[in-house]
Amino acid sequence: MALRAVEHSQEAANGLKEKVLTLDSMNPCVRRVEYAVRGPIVQRALELEQELRQGVKKPFTEVIRANIGDAQAMGQIPITFPRQVLALCVHPDLLNSPDFPDDAKRRAERILQACGGHSLGAYSISAGVQMIREDVARYIERRDGGIPSDPNNIFLSTGASDAIVTVLKLLVTGEGRTRTGVLIPTPQYPLYSAALAEFNAVQVDYYLDEERAWALDVAELRRALRQARDHCRPRALCVINPGNPTGQVQTRACIEDVIRFAFEERLFLLADEVYQDNVYAEGSQFHSFKKVLTEMGPPYAARQELASFHSISKGFMGECGFRGGYVEVVNMDAAVKQQMQKLRSVRLCPPTPGQVLLDVAVSPPAPSDPSFARFQAERRAVLAELAAKAKLTEQVFNEAPGIRCNPVQGAMYSFPRMELPPRAVQRAQELGLAPDMFFCLRLLEETGICVVPGSGFGQREGTYHFRMTILPPMEKLRPLLEKLSQFHAKFTREYS
């Protein structure tokens, strides 16, 4: 202690002062957080873009960021009607302009009437504008064939991510062997691993079956749960449907099995359903967990706890930057729901522009509205192009030796498996890199294509993957897929 005091006085005398917050003194949970989608590979992509702007010669003319599901960054044109409504809400003087259709004006006036001071610049209540929550409830009822939805069970959020983190926060408790465990699909969307690391909870991986197009297998859930009970207390099960990064769409029978399993094992269910509009494969269909749970009847319908999430970032709108989303809770304890309300109120409210766009997403123009035909045509065009890109991605990758890609049934990503030669694996280890990270970094440096290594999402030991979005425009996607396949062939030759 005396020595430390001397050191402190010497530091003070030298005009040096140790920082209060250092890597050693900061929250260790935060240091454990990793988020591959925006990890080191993306940092390097940004640097390369900067170098290209400065005129540095590269073997490519642009960086193609196929690392993140950001449709508009990839050139998707915003759907017109939601943007018209938003423009009118942000700048109500435009309500007198002849450039906007009447139904957009009516919608904007209706939303502004529901806002404090009739202005989008006012806070909303913490759970979101009441009228918009009611519109979300009506949307859920329509989607689920008339099954009732209570607006009081709906919380609007800053994208789905914010709502997912809030529900996880409610679930996490305990220390040592009583720490909360959460079962998450592997490969998984790294929001889950990042949030669990931040909360010092236990990540319990259950593997999706790559040989069966990334199907979810209840036997694998049982294995994961049994092993986890030795070192933590599993309390929740997360399912991503359609899958990210894997793109599979779950069958109704599978969802029923998962609900029975969660019920028997007393697990809270989190259903991440943000890609529910993105289903492309023939014979695939989206079934919401809420609908299946309700139709299963007693004892499940009245007792199984569920939180399901949706967002404006995906689907056909791709309005990522506006951060709009919601969670609907089912069978949540009333006192816990009050605590959730309290947590939401600490954050004041979700961004109101995101709430406006969410309202349009859940209640689009009706057939009698002047904007109906254009809205439907734009929506169909986006989804049809995504379906074509999903098919093309699978086809081109499966023609490449050493790459295998499951059907992209839904969502916005492919997650191909690639063979890497032993010498490449050895070289990666010498550099202190995961083998697929080594491959993806070399790919970026030599072609300008930015994809995310599978190790950032989790994968079975000894297998190597990468996640790539199917979002680049069609005229760029085919050359990108071919260039990537050719690079893999060259990389394989180099290290064989």
Confidence of residue 272 (pLDDT cuts 50, 70, 90): very high
Instruction: Please check whether the domain covering 123-362 is classified as CATH 3.40.630.10.
Output: no
Phi and psi of 115, rounded to 5°?
-95, 150
Pick one of 3.30.365.10, 3.90.1150.10, 3.40.50.720, 2.60.130.10 as the CATH number of 30-75+376-495: 3.90.1150.10
State pLDDT tens for residues 26-71: 667 677 766 655 667 888 888 888 888 888 888 888 888 888 778 7
| Token duo for residue 446 | 């030599």
Q: Is 131 exposed, middle or buried (0-12, 13-18, 19+ CB in 10 A)?
A: middle
Give, as one character, the DSSP assignment of residue 116.
G
State pLDDT tens for residues 293-337: 999 999 999 999 999 999 988 888 788 888 889 999 999 999 888
Give, as one character, the DSSP assignment of residue 472.
S
Do 30-75+376-495 and 123-362 share a fold? Answer: no
Q: Residue 372 in contact with residue 366, Cβ under 8 Å?
A: yes
What are the residues facing 236 on neighbouring strands? 182, 268
Contacts of 238 (CB under 8 A, 6+ apart): 182, 183, 184, 185, 188, 192, 270, 272
Residue 393 and residue 317: Cα distance in Å, rounded? 21
Residue spans of alpha helices (H) in 144-248: 159-171, 191-198, 218-228
pLDDT at residue 62 in the model: 85
3-class DSSP string for 289-312: HHHHHHHHCCCHHHHCCEEEEEEC
Which amino acid appears at position 246 of this protein? T
pLDDT at residue 91 in the model: 93
19-28, 126-135, 282-291, 314-323: least confidently modelled range:
19-28
Q: Residue 341 in contact with residue 292, Cβ under 8 Å?
A: no
Q: Residue 465 in contact with residue 437, Cβ under 8 Å?
A: no
Q: Residue 217 in contact with residue 209, Cβ under 8 Å?
A: yes
Residue whose structure tokens are 């669990």: 196
As a whole number, mean pLDDT of residues 265-269 equals: 94
**Helix, strand, coil percent content, the chain, rounded in steps of 5:** 50, 15, 35
| pTM score | 0.84
| Token duo for residue 122 | 């006012």
> What count of other Cβ atoms lies within 10 Å of the Cβ of residue 236?
23
Residue 14 and residue 254: Cα distance in Å, rounded? 67
State pLDDT tens for residues 74-110: 788 888 999 999 999 999 999 999 999 999 999 999 9
Residue 170 and residue 69: Cα distance in Å, rounded? 28
Confidence of residue 347 (pLDDT cuts 50, 70, 90): confident
14-23, 77-86, 271-280: least confidently modelled range:
14-23
Question: Residue 204: left if φ>0, alpha if ψ -120 to 50, beta else—which one?
Answer: beta
344-358, 361-375, 480-494: least confidently modelled range:
344-358
In the chain, what percentage of residues exceed pLDDT 90?
39
As a whole number, mean pLDDT of residues 388-416 equals: 90
Give, as one character, the DSSP assignment of residue 410.
B
Q: What is the mean pLDDT of the chain?
A: 87
Rounded-to-10 torsion of CA 99, 104, 105, 109: -150
Domain ranges of the chain: 30-75+376-495, 123-362
Residue 459 and residue 461: Cα distance in Å, rounded? 6
Angle (CA) 371-381-244 rounded to 5° is 115
